[in-house]
A and B are shown apart, each in its own frame.
Chain A
Amino acid sequence: MQHFTHQLELFPDCSVTLVLFNDVKNAVALRKKAMEGSIDGALINPAMIVDPFQILVATNKAVHLHRIGKMKTRTLNAEIIFNLSPNNNISDALKKFGISDNDSAVIIVLIEDKEKTVNLEGIISQVEGQQVSLAELNKITDIAKVKKMYKLTPQEEKIGTLLDGIICRMSTKDIA
């Protein structure tokens, strides 16, 4: 199995699975299925992701807000995508971090808890593409695009990694 699963420490009944696909041919159909709800997962543009930790942080925050009824968006999946953004504009976040019709790679984030089980094989079978290990992410990430999106300062790059800057912005955007 090449997917990546992590049990959320703060919500032990909840586990997050990340699956990366390359050479995807049916992005249009997948988007539609996700919006309809026939695929219950967050479809993320892997070019904007530098590390699975980035998605875990977004997911943890989404689950936290979902459980206290304070999400900014309407669904848990949309909230995960929204949390990746450094700003508070929801439609911009969904556009930039969600997948577009002509994308050839996609990360699917699946949440499993007491109320919901995940049919991994079922989801994989709906993707017309190649499932690959998350280690391949570094070949797909568009660093220039990521830097442009998160706008790290030159001083900031000296004291930490790109991921550090990204995580800080994601976690503090609601009060910054």
Chain B
Amino acid sequence: MVTAGLIHYILNLLHVTVHIRDVCVFLAPVFSGLTAISTFLLTRELWNQGAGLLAACFIAIVPGYISRSVAGSFDNEGIAIFALQFTYYLWVSASPPPLPGYSLPIFLSCIILLLVNFFPFILFLVSAWGGYVFIINLIPLHVFALLLMQRYSRRVYIGVFALLQAYAFLQYLKDRLTRQEFQTLFFLGISLAACIVFLTVIYLTYTGLSTSPSLHRCRSTSRPRGCPSSLISTSWSAPSQQAFGFASRTSMMNACLAGKVRKHVSEQEKAEEGLGPNIKSIVTMLMLMLLMMFAVHCTWVTSNAYSSPSVVLASYNHDGTRNILDDFREAYYWLRQNTDEHARVMSWWDYGYQIAGMANRTTLVDNNTWNNSHIALVGKAMSSNESAAYEIMRSLDVDYVLIIFGGVIGYSGDDINKFLWMVRIAEGEHPKDIRESDYFTPQGEFRVDKAGSPTLLNCLMYKMSYYRFGEMQLDFRTPPGFDRTRNAEIGNKDIKFKHLEEAFTSEHWLVRIYKVKKLENREALDHKLRSVVSRQKYTSKKVSVFPLRRDGFSCSLSFMMLSTTYSKTPQKIKTALNSRERKETSNNQ
């Protein structure tokens, strides 16, 4: 987020007026490009240029990484993977060469490399991604392995020790200073360090002291590297394999290894001169086929699983034309435009972020709600009957309820299909009020048709989903009220609401929004009721019973009174009533 903000700020400073949204959208793709480059660099450090290219190709098509780097996936992982690869690269290029015998320039270059490149990058990584523990733990592991293999050197010492010293110093400062002061000091320090390093480099360059050639030497490819690739890969693969078990994100790191291993295999083949040309070509063919299949697989997975939007649904007709079902945005935009700015929307937590982002309305629970009892309360409201739900909704100050209903178009990810989870979560917190077994038939089935349990057929979620759906006949082969998602004719077709009111239903009924009515006729008028009725002598007594309240009773009284004075059609009476009210208000004003 800070990165995106910074990029946006710098671009706008240069009058490249990119919208912050565009920056966010394209951040991950741009950084994935940088990831490919750093993967190449890392693998080149470990093996050679060809392996680097292959590794870059692998990381370019790994679906796990593509899913995190598609345009619009604005997540910390988009940057973190790049930071991870680049940190490794810097660590590897700063790692000790094979022979001792250091001169001052090497010493300096190490410090520069580690402090300037590596340390801020670790910070960058830490701030960007929770997965930094991999690096933080892997580097000591690597150092330990280096020690075991008796490859200890001053560079390792400098690298780790300087880092630790700096970190400890920062911690010390952090304890002593306030957050604000610390931040100022930190940025000041960083910029100062950058300045010093910059000036040092300039000075060294100018005076002919050898800094850059040695810098270069550290990264040169034609010589055997200080840290053997086998060591890195072994110290690396074990933890990454572990990580693979619970998070696929580290599979990206394996792409690098894969590139190396493939290259290794092919080189081994080259070395074995004894094999005939036939076997060689067959193996090459097989390898190529595998790679090709891998590419096809990656493309498929990416296009189907990772980059198809879930907000806009598309269906294809027989002639290949595309139908776009834009119901989600339709309903969210309606909420955004035509409800009060401070309206509170109750929905299942899945839609929390969407409502907040697209409808710009307050939600009760969203995708990041950790308070289980809160979610359970919403679940309880959804799974109770209307009057009980109304109590909960009143206490939660709910103005609108939003649900997803897929019965018309056969969308399976709707709220009725998720409903059992709401029941279960509600039961977890309110076992006395909600019991999961009540929502099943005696045979233990979850059914929405006539055989379904009466608790289910009268709960709020059911009623909201199927309100007026019983009248709807989708095609001639099925009866009215036939739910396409669950392939059943609904069991409760006579749904009436007492406390709710249909506020909006999207074109394909995918999103239904209900308005929670306020308590009826209990609130005092904001102006004094004019004694219009009292002028009429024969009703004055009756009406004056409720002089300050305009509730149902007095209204009906005045209505009766009006109907005696105007013997016209009800429409007319209503108009007359309206005009009377209008006059009242205008008089009062």
A and B co-occur in one complex: no
What residues make up the interface of A, taking CB atoms closer than 8 Å to B?
none
